[in-house]
Structure 1
Amino acid sequence: MITARGIKKQFGDLQVLKGIDLDIRQGEVVSIVGPSGAGKTTLLQILGTLDKPNAGEVSVNNIAIQQLSEKELSRFRNANIGFVFQFHQLLPEFNAVENIILPALIAGKNKAKSEEKARSLLAFLNLHDRETHKPAELSGGEKQRVAIARALINDPAVVFADEPTGSLDSQNQEELHKLFFKLRDEFKQTFVIVTHDLHLAHRSDREIKMKDGYIE
């Protein structure tokens, strides 16, 4: 599903990743854990095609990422990868459905069908009564579930999540933990999650522990 070999990344004189080899299987829920500065988010961004390594190779669904042009990479990312961030990244002027369908519209999909699918995802996430609510009218947990629906709208093969529970209270954290596994079982996606939340990490299928730019 995801293969990384010899991944190195540096920013100026600071070497953040020092040679990462990694395999993630389809349908796994994998957590990447470690202290601040270990390189977790940098690795997630490279695996998710948001950044490029200085050395090494990444393939997702048997596609060699480094061989794609920028335009091909954008299309591949939109069709195959979903992202969930700590602070939701929802557009404040759009309601829940409008935020969710943005990746589908970028992919050139039919707007009416995309809105129908967005409503279906909201219903699955117990947000059927929040379709027309804008982010300012949603709780933190509701915003994060809208962000997850947006990540799922194009049926991605893999969802990358960067500290998805970091801004949530304990009750919403627990609900989100359960939701990741429910989504995996329902939609068969792979989830790769960077987290300091050890409760979430321990519940994952596998923990990947990082320290000082290496996998321990």
Structure 2
Amino acid sequence: MIKAKNIRKSFGQLEVLKGIDLEIPLGKIYSIVGASGAGKTTLLQILGTLSTPDSGEIYFGDQKISAMKEKQLSAFRNREIGFVFQFHHLLPEFTALENVCIPAFIAKTSKAKAETKAKELLQYLGLSDRMEHKPSELSGGEKQRVAMARALINNPSVVMADEPSGNLDSSNRDELHELLFKLRDEMGQTFVIVTHDDHFAERSDKILHIKDGVIG
């Protein structure tokens, strides 16, 4: 489903990615692991179209992402890719429901349709009684579940997550990990996740080890 060919990326004189080749099928959880500075987040951002490689090609199905113009790429990203970060990046002035709806509004989904889908997702994620709460009124685990609902609102082909449990205590971390496997099993959701959590990585469908700029 996602294919990367010979992805290279440098920052100044430092070559971070030195020719990455990978394929990620639908309905699987792939973990990207490696030491700090190995290029995990850089690779995730390139796969998620948030950053461009210096060279190489990325395909989603038969669509060549690396050939898209910025406006086309932004629309593709909004429609096909969901994002979850270590720090949830919820907008503090909006409720959980409003935060989840934002990507749908950007995609020009009607308010009624967006809210219906957002409510369904929040209920599915165990947040039916927290929809009108603002982020400051939610626990860390609840914030990440809201972020997950936001990532899923447009039915993306893939969710990219960068250390999604890295800021959670052990109980909330385990809860989030179980949720990821549930979403894979029940919804067929594809995930690409940067993680330092060896236990989670070992349970994923495949581990991509980055070392010295290549996948070993």
TM-score by length of 1: 0.99
Is 1:38 aligned with 2:34?
Answer: no
Q: Distance in 1 between matches of 2:60 and 2:101?
A: 24
Is 1:86 aligned with 2:77?
Answer: no
Alignment check: 8 A CA contact 1:163 1:194 kept:
yes
For residues 17-166 of structure 1, the aligned pairs below 5 Å read: 17-166=17-166
Q: Distance in 1 between matches of 2:5 and 2:77?
A: 20
Q: Distance in 1 between matches of 2:112 and 2:15?
A: 47
Tell me by how many angstroms 1:60 deviates: 1.3
Tell me by how many angstroms 1:61 deviates: 2.5
Q: What's the secondary structure of 2:126's corresponding residue?
A: coil
Alignment check: 8 A CA contact 1:122 1:149 kept:
yes
Q: Distance in 2 between matches of 1:199 and 1:62?
A: 34
Q: Distance in 2 between matches of 1:52 and 1:59?
A: 13
Partner of 2:175 in structure 1?
A: 175
Q: Distance in 1 between matches of 2:51 and 2:195?
A: 19
Q: Distance in 2 between matches of 1:142 and 1:154?
A: 20
Q: Distance in 1 between matches of 2:211 and 2:163?
A: 17
Q: Distance in 2 between matches of 1:53 and 1:146?
A: 30
Q: Distance in 2 between matches of 1:121 and 1:184?
A: 14
Q: What's the secondary structure of 1:129's corresponding residue?
A: coil
Tell me by how many angstroms 1:145 deviates: 0.2
Q: Distance in 1 between matches of 2:44 and 2:59?
A: 13
Q: What's the secondary structure of 2:129's corresponding residue?
A: helix
Partner of 1:11 in structure 2?
A: 11
Tell me by how many angstroms 1:66 deviates: 1.3
Q: Distance in 1 between matches of 2:186 and 2:52?
A: 31
The two structures, once aligned, show a CA RMSD in angstroms of: 0.6
Deviations 1:95-140 (A, max 9, x none): 0000000000000001111111111101100000000000000000
Q: Distance in 2 between matches of 1:145 and 1:196?
A: 20
Tell me by how many angstroms 1:181 deviates: 1.0
For residues 176-215 of structure 1, the aligned pairs below 5 Å read: 176-215=176-215
Tell me by how many angstroms 1:186 deviates: 2.1
Deviations 1:53-80 (A, max 9, x none): 0010001122101111111001100110
Q: Distance in 1 between matches of 2:203 and 2:42?
A: 23
Structure 2 stretches lacking a partner, 5+ long:
none
Q: Distance in 1 between matches of 2:32 and 2:128?
A: 32
Tell me by how many angstroms 1:21 deviates: 0.5
Moved over 6 A (4+): none
Aligned length: 216
Structure 1 stretches lacking a partner, 5+ long:
none
Alignment check: 8 A CA contact 1:78 1:107 kept:
yes
TM-score by length of 2: 0.99
